[in-house]
Amino acid sequence: MSQRILVVDDEKTFRLVCTTALQAEGYEVLDAASGRQALARFEEARPDVVILDRNLPDIDGLQLLQRMNAESPPDGNEPAVIMATAYADVDNAVQALKAGAYDYLTKPLQLPELVVTVQKALEAKRLRKAVNALQDEASRRLTKGLHLGQSPAMKSVLSMVDKVALAPSTTVLIEGESGVGKEVIAHLIHHRTPQRAPQPFVELNCASIPEQLMESELFGHVKGAFTDAKGDKRGLLEAADGGTLFLDEIGEMPLGIQAKLLRVLETSAFRRVGSTRDQKVDVRFVAATNRDLSHEVEKGAFRLDLYHRLDVFRLRLPPLRERHDDVLPLARSFLQSFCAKMGKQITAITPEAEGALLAYPFPGNIRELRNAIERAVILETESTLTASSLLLGSPNKNPLPASWAGDTMGRVMTEKARPPTLDELERDYIVRLLEHAHGNRSQVARLMGVSYPTVMKKITDYAIDISRWAKG
């Protein structure tokens, strides 16, 4: 099927010349002498390219361009519009491009230039459709990886992601415990935002970079800004220009950097370290935290003004223990994935293993579940995954007994006649892991499915005495 061109101009000679030149190149060409006629042809034929006169007798060409764009789905099938006018001034060109025109040509047109511009417009349209298809596939893979459709809680989260994807500049704050999938949701927001998806997704983990290096990492620096600044360096803000900057564990950001980040959020401008020149940046900020930022504000550890700037659109990811409907589908998905990687044929999970998975609290959430299934696939010698391979059984046989949470709950209920708090359960769990690992915090981090800094922070927060272990 030949590609379709619509020529819109009130001059009959212009339409005839364009039609003859484009038909010679094998294109199907339609024409219209007015804005109203053009709209009718556009709705009927859905052309690939529109050559549009700026000055029409009934409708301004820019208004017609905006109408066509508004009536086209943003999926790569919208027409590439080439504006044409006898008025060769810069203002007209800028207005046309801002309104969504692909290019701008001045009359009298040079036919070779017209043909080349149409060819480029069609190629740009083809590439845009290909990019959209890749973005859709990436989004589908992310969604599948999260099994978002299983539980009502995650269906609600996905619905919110779709809504905020329509607001490409809105700041998003993602709350949730370690391991619930905050980073994956941030990726999903980026990929489902058409204006941002083709551009970079850049991540900064605020807990993993020392305070003295974070400013340079985020904003960049100029040569001579400090002793080791041998040349100019572009920061993550510049790297993310046009796309998304994901600030993971934002609650760990030092107060001094918070003030400078606030300025960027308010003005879309920043300065490299050592520079006196402001630079503009177009970035969507997505921040994530496993802390209660409002509580951090009360403690003076987080700026109130920055908290309000970040808390524009909030997403809370529920922990896995609140999503029982997701545990087994996720486990089966991880099982299939790891079997494919390791060349194993484990096709099912025993009822006892399923019961152990459902009974276990998974304080490390999805990340811990994934690690548990990976270990089980390594250990399992049968074609069915058993409870003993999960390492979630009896304390006498396995390092991660599923009864720990129950022991803690029973002890606290007996002592205090109340259910334990989540903090009490988690502290007891970490202590038992430390006992099992003989104080090796790196091993504890692996078993929990969280980062080493996260384990160290929890040990500090819960005032766990690690001096009893000779090494760690």
Say if residue 185 is in the same domain as residue 204: yes
- The reply to whether 385 and 471 lie within a common domain is no
**Are residues 269 and 227 located together in one domain of the fold?**
yes
Q: Where do we find the tokens 């915090």?
A: 441
Sign of CA pseudo-dihedral 361, 364, 369, 373: negative
Same domain, 343 and 304: no
Query: Which one is predicted more confidently, 364 or 423?
Result: 364
Residue 140 lies in a domain: no
Residue 348: per-residue pLDDT? 94
pLDDT digits (tens, 9 = 90+) for 152-196: 888 899 899 999 999 999 999 999 998 888 998 999 999 899 889
pLDDT above 90: residue 310: yes
Confidence of residue 424 (pLDDT cuts 50, 70, 90): confident
Q: Are residues 388 and 408 in the same domain?
A: no
Residue 141 forms part of a structural domain: no
84 bridge partner residues: 53, 105
Let me know whether 155 and 225 are in one domain. yes
CA dihedral of residues 379, 384, 387, 389 (deg, nearest 10):
0
CA nearest to 236, candidates 226, 223, 227, 246: 246
Q: What is the CATH number of the domain that holds 411?
A: 1.10.10
Instruction: Provide mean pLDDT across the span 353-362.
Output: 89
Structural domain boundaries enclosing 423: 404-472
Q: For 361-403, write each residue's pLDDT tens digit.
A: 888 888 889 889 998 999 888 899 998 888 874 333 334 444 4
412 plus 384 within the same structural domain: no
pLDDT of residue 206: 92
Backbone angles phi, psi at 50, to 5 degrees: -120, 125
pLDDT tens for 408-418 read 444 444 444 45
User: Per-residue pLDDT for 266 more than 50?
Assistant: yes
50 or 463: which leads in pLDDT:
50
Residue 437 lies in a domain: yes
Q: How many CA atoms lie within 13 A of 119 on its CB side?
A: 11
Rounded CA separation 402/76 (Å): 51
- 11 and 120 in a common domain: yes
Mean pLDDT score, 219-225: 86
Q: Reply yes or no on whether the pLDDT at 75 is more than 60.
A: no
Dihedral sign from CA coordinates of 68, 70, 72, 76: positive
311 and 335 fall within a common domain: no
Instruction: Write out the two tokens for 196.
Output: 């941002």
d(CA 300, CA 152): 36
405 three-state secondary structure: helix
pLDDT bucket at 252, cuts 50 / 70 / 90: very high
Report yes or no: 380 and 386 within 8 Å, Cβ to Cβ: yes
The per-residue pLDDT for 205 is 92
Same domain, 211 and 281: yes
Could you give phi then psi for residue 19, rounded to 5 degrees? Answer: -60, -45
Lowest mean pLDDT among 133-142, 327-336, 339-348, 424-433: 133-142
Q: Give the confidence band of 94 by pLDDT, cuts at 50, 70, 90.
A: confident
The pLDDT, as a whole number, for residue 98 is 79
Task: Please classify residue 446 by burial: count the beta carbons closer than 10 Å to its beta carbon, then call 0-12 exposed, 13-18 middle and 19+ buried.
Answer: middle
**Bridge partners, residue 60, by sequence:** 55
> Is 320 in contact with 362 (CB distance < 8 Å)?
yes
Query: What does the pLDDT read at residue 97?
Result: 81
Whichever domain contains 45, its CATH number is: 3.40.50.2300
Give the pLDDT mean for 68-91. 74
**0.75 cut: is pTM over it?**
no
Residue with more model confidence, 186 or 69: 186
Q: Is residue 421 located within the same domain as residue 335?
A: no
Mean pLDDT of the 125-147 span: 66
Report yes or no on 139 lying in a domain: no
Domain tally for the chain?
A: 4
Of the candidates 346, 343, 327, the one whose C-alpha atom is nearest the C-alpha of residue 335 is 346
Residue 397 is part of a domain; what is its CATH number? 1.10.8.60
